[in-house]
Structure 1
């Protein structure tokens, strides 16, 4: 399944002056990006409102983003967490673990490469590389993995926007599908997001996968009246935006 990213103008607009002018593009005027949600701002606008970038931590557009970034980094330091509800595999119960990847951790490079390979079985290898490593246009994405006996079996990537979580890419290894592994990982992730104060989850679904998200995972199609223009939500060709309230 190939979902083609086609971007959003909002992510490239300054959150203070609400624009990026044609002159900006011609003169290559840079916008600084929030380390957490990837919203952008002109350096000059930051100076105008009296905000500064911290060279040691980067820039966060709100205190909420700074707090979320800290809590997510803390979670990355934890050992894989056991998922208490097992899945059935080869006529035995298999207990999974889940964790957040830290792409800056040299000791996790083998696990990161394994995750890229798993994600690359559903999406292109190039997209998988950029997603897991958080490179443009996927800055700010975090990667949650489910493991069985030390092997990555499911991957979910997400980004946080204040009290909204965006699920961007989801996959499970081919031989372990239809075993509710993705469901277990999503449940664990939802419980973690609740602790972070997330109230709503949005995701992008193909029309083929829509019944799975609505019937199995409890999502609904986002009504046309709902706008995400204040958030740096990814956009994909031929997908349907769904949501789920978890409060």
Structure 2
């Protein structure tokens, strides 16, 4: 039996995908979550003066946003994240449309043949100021891609990137996602492998990803890396999936 046309509204390839989407929507609605002091040991002691206004680790928060349909209040955070990405990366321009990938991804837009409506942005923020941000997209319970992640220039080298990754992996474990993949440029490939435990995707696995996850981002000059998600799994359910809380466990 074949469909004559696509169903109206949101539709998913499986029940699990529908549940993941539901939980991500609830996480966006929950707003910022305070990062517990037990996790902030990754930040160097000078962080209190990093922004020149006496901020302490206890002011640090974690938030997940979806660019498509973002509120005016949270649009400011998305805009800050876009600025960080533009400051840290060379322009990422689509060869066909000539458009910039970064804002299209951040705001969940469709650009040519690329559909970024399912992209979310996770952030570490201090008093409404984005410190580290990463755009990600979930491909069911098997894989999530993290194509772009960066820390603001004034806060680089202070441990924020590592803290972001720690929180992000906890989020994926909570969502019961098995693997994460990142497209790594040659100059940072060793960092992902040695510091964060990634490994190169085999040619066979890469072909499978490209065939089954056709919307996965592929940047020229990068190598795709993958990592098994580490952490306690099974936290995300309809009963307790409405709010994500970070912990040191």
TM-score (norm 2): 0.73
Q: Name the CA distance, whole Å, in 2 between partners of 1:101 and 1:139.
A: 12
- In structure 2, what is the equivalent of residue 90 of structure 1? 46
Contact 2:31 2:64 in 1 (8 A): no
Superimposed CA distance per residue, residues 97-131 of structure 1 (whole angstroms, 9 cap, x where no aligned partner)? 11111332233222222222222212338332111
Unaligned 5+ segments in structure 1 are: 1-43
Give the superposition deviation at 1:197: 1.3
- In structure 1, what is the equivalent of residue 83 of structure 2? 117
Q: Name the CA distance, whole Å, in 1 between partners of 2:118 and 2:136.
A: 8
Superimposed CA distance per residue, residues 55-102 of structure 1 (whole angstroms, 9 cap, x where no aligned partner)? 3xx332322222111110100011312223221253646342111113
Superimposed CA distance per residue, residues 180-211 of structure 1 (whole angstroms, 9 cap, x where no aligned partner)? 21111111111111111101111100010011
Q: Name the CA distance, whole Å, in 1 between partners of 2:226 and 2:127.
A: 32
- In structure 2, what is the equivalent of residue 54 of structure 1? 8
Question: Paired residues, what number?
Answer: 199
- 5 Å matches for 1:159-178? 159-162=137-140, 163-178=142-157
Task: Give the alignment partner of residue 235 of structure 1, picking from 218, 226, 234.
Answer: 218
- In structure 1, what is the equivalent of residue 108 of structure 2? 134
Unaligned 5+ segments in structure 2 are: 49-55, 93-99, 231-249
Task: Give the alignment partner of residue 65 of structure 1, picking from 14, 17, 20.
Answer: 17
Contact 1:120 1:127 in 2 (8 A): no
TM-score (norm 1): 0.73
Structure having the larger proportion of residues in helix:
2
C-alpha spacing 1:68/1:215, structure 2 compared with 1 (3 Å): same
- In structure 1, what is the equivalent of residue 74 of structure 2? 108
Q: Name the CA distance, whole Å, in 1 between partners of 2:156 and 2:23.
A: 31
Q: Secondary structure at the match of 2:224?
A: strand
Q: Name the CA distance, whole Å, in 2 between partners of 1:77 and 1:169.
A: 23
Give the superposition deviation at 1:46: 3.0
Contact 2:88 2:153 in 1 (8 A): no
- 5 Å matches for 1:162-241? 162=140, 163-226=142-205, 227-228=208-209, 229-232=211-214, 233-241=216-224
- In structure 2, what is the equivalent of residue 76 of structure 1? 28
Show structure 1 runs of 4+ deviating over 4 A: none
Q: Secondary structure at the match of 1:160?
A: strand
CA RMSD of aligned residues (A): 2.2
Q: Secondary structure at the match of 2:196?
A: coil
Contact 1:221 1:243 in 2 (8 A): yes
Q: Name the CA distance, whole Å, in 1 between partners of 2:131 and 2:46.
A: 15
C-alpha spacing 1:89/1:116, structure 2 compared with 1 (3 Å): farther
- In structure 2, what is the equivalent of residue 32 of structure 1? none
Q: Secondary structure at the match of 2:138?
A: strand
